[in-house]
């Protein structure tokens, strides 16, 4: 954006196109150069001394680990889009979860973690945080303001992830944030599903928003990246912890994620349309017990989703009617277009056999049938439906 445009208010799609760009500082090139840099030279000792000023640690280019114009461009775009104070990049989505938890929790503190969290988040709490003397209590994702009953004097963080990993429960984030703030706790959110476009986390009361940039932001299944966006109060502690841990993102990954970000809105529009089309079709299938997708009016989380989200991305679950594992595997193997693989948010469709019942401690996942997680890509949805139809035929045949 031209300097003269500062102060104007632009809508999200316009911000997505312009934030973080400074063509006048890079010979007119539309995109920032990819700086491959560890050492950053100072012209003289006065500049060297100036760059050591601890107050400027995260504001200037002084060492590759702490950022370059390439990483600053993506950070500026992400923070501006979601309405946060500032952002930082980390090497993976998981690192973007662990660093803020380490920053805001210390020995003797208590953490409230949603029971439907991303699996490796649970592992980190149970293995690493426990060893550091932080106690974790898991809570029911459907608890709204009832969270207040679980908040203790030493509860520093309430962690939300909405919709839940694998099971897609929508949380009442504004109610949870209200109660947490009343009792002096911070609210951290894994906002990977919503993206900065579909869940404006800061407007809903979140203090720290976490993204696996690996997913929709990068969008092409070719890199790992994490991003943390904070409010003003939490920026320094979280940014300092990320630096103290030695986390940084590679320049090529930051550049490719910024390139992906520019088309996030158009990709998500199509992901959403395709996702809804396939989900509606699945809902009518006799083999399907339930589709776990808050964009569907029949979903128990639909009303909250409609109130708080600005759209639905295309990752959802489905519970099949009880069937032998062998038959479900035959179904998946019969699919031609759905890849069998971890991660999601790329341009291509994926399917995974998941076991949510193994990742619960505060609640029970009581669906009897097998659960599958689908990511709907940018293929023609009619082809995806035909593929799934072949899969169901294999399921019936093996059953």
Ligand X SMILES: *Cc1c(COP(=O)(O)O)cnc(C)c1O
Q: How far is the CB of 210 from ligand X (least distance, A)?
A: 7
Q: What are phi and psi of 299, to 5 degrees?
A: -70, 135
- Closest to ligand X by CB, 58 vs 118, is 118
Name the residue with tokens 């459907």: 142
Minimal CB distance residue for ligand X: 93
- Closest to ligand X by CB, 99 vs 151, is 99
Q: How far is the CB of 81 from ligand X (least distance, A)?
A: 18
Q: How far is the CB of 34 from ligand X (least distance, A)?
A: 20
Q: How far is the CB of 258 from ligand X (least distance, A)?
A: 16
Distances (CA, A) of 23 to 3, 61, 185, 190, 301: 11, 18, 41, 32, 44
Q: How far is the CB of 201 from ligand X (least distance, A)?
A: 14
Angle (CA) 91-248-65 rounded to 5° is: 165
- What is the Cα–Cα distance from 373 to 221, expressed in whole angstroms? 17
- Closest to ligand X by CB, 62 vs 211, is 211
Interface contacts to ligand X, rule CB under 6 A: 92-94, 118, 165, 190, 192, 212, 214, 224, 226, 343
Q: Is the dihedral of CA 378, 380, 382, 384 positive or negative?
A: negative
- Closest to ligand X by CB, 120 vs 399, is 120
- Closest to ligand X by CB, 201 vs 323, is 201
Closest C-alpha among 162, 133, 164 to residue 359: 164
- Closest to ligand X by CB, 104 vs 249, is 249
- Closest to ligand X by CB, 371 vs 395, is 371
- Closest to ligand X by CB, 188 vs 224, is 224
Q: How far is the CB of 225 from ligand X (least distance, A)?
A: 7
For the chain, what is the HEC assignment? Answer: CCHHHCCCCCCHHHHHHHCCCCHHHCCCCCCCCCCCCCCCCCCCHHHHHHHCCHHHCCCCCCCHHHCCHHHHHHHHHHHHHHCCCEEEEECCHHHHHHHHHHHHCCCCCEEEEECCCCHHHHHHHHHHHHHCCCEEEEECCCCCHHHHHHCCCCEEEEEEECCCCCCCCCCCHHHHHHHHHHCCCEEEEECCCCHHHHCCHHHHCCCEEEEECCCCCCCCCCCCCEEEEECHHHHHHHHHHHHHCCCCCCHHHHHHHHHHHHCHHHHHHHHHHHHHHHHHHHHCCCCEEEEECCCCCCCCCHHHHHHHCCCCCCEEEEEECCCCHHHHHHHHHHCCCCEECCCCCCCCCEEEEECHHHHCCCCCCCCCCCEEEEECCCCCHHHHHHHHHHHHHHHHHHC
- Closest to ligand X by CB, 80 vs 93, is 93
Q: How far is the CB of 167 from ligand X (least distance, A)?
A: 12
- Closest to ligand X by CB, 104 vs 323, is 104
Q: How far is the CB of 161 from ligand X (least distance, A)?
A: 6
């Amino acid at each position: 954006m031209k300097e003269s445009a500062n102060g104007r208010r632009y809508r999200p799609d316009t911000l997505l196109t312009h934030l973080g760009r400074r063509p006048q500082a890079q010979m007119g090139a539309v995109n920032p150069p990819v700086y491959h840099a560890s050492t950053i030279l100072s012209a003289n000792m006065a500049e060297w001394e100036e760059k050591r000023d601890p107050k400027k640690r995260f504001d200037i280019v002084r060492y590759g680990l702490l950022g370059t114009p390439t990483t600053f461009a993506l950070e500026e775009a992400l923070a501006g889009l979601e309405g946060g104070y500032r952002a930082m990049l980390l090497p993976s989505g998981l690192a973007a979860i662990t660093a803020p938890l380490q920053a805001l929790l210390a020995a003797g503190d208590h953490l409230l973690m949603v029971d439907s969290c991303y699996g490796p988040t649970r592992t980190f709490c149970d293995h690493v945080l426990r060893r550091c003397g932080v106690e974790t209590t898991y809570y029911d994702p459907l608890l709204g303001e009832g969270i207040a009953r679980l908040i203790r004097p030493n509860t520093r963080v309430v962690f939300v992830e909405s919709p839940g990993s694998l099971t897609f429960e929508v949380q009442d984030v504004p109610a949870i944030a209200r109660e947490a703030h009343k009792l002096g706790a911070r609210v951290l959110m894994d906002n990977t599903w919503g993206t900065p476009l579909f869940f404006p986390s800061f407007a809903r009361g979140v203090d720290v928003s976490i993204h696996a940039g690996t997913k929709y932001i990068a969008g092409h299944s070719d890199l790992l990246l994490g991003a943390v966006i904070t409010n003003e109060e939490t920026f320094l502690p979280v940014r300092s912890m990320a630096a103290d841990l030695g986390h940084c993102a590679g320049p090529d990954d930051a550049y490719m994620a910024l390139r992906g970000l520019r088309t996030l809105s158009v990709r998500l529009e199509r992901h959403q349309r395709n996702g809804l089309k396939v989900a509606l079709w699945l809902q009518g299938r006799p083999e399907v017990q339930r589709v776990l997708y808050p964009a569907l009016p029949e979903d128990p989380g639909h009303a909250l989703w409609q109130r708080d989200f600005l759209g639905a991305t295309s990752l959802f679950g489905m519970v099949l009617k009880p069937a032998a594992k062998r038959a479900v595997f035959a179904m998946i193997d019969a699919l031609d277009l759905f890849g069998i693989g971890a991660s999601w948010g790329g341009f291509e469709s994926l399917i995974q056999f998941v076991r949510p019942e193994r990742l619960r401690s505060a609640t029970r996942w009581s669906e009897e049938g097998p659960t599958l997680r689908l990511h709907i890509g940018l293929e023609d949805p009619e082809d995806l439906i035909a593929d799934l139809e072949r899969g169901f035929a294999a399921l019936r045949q093996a059953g």
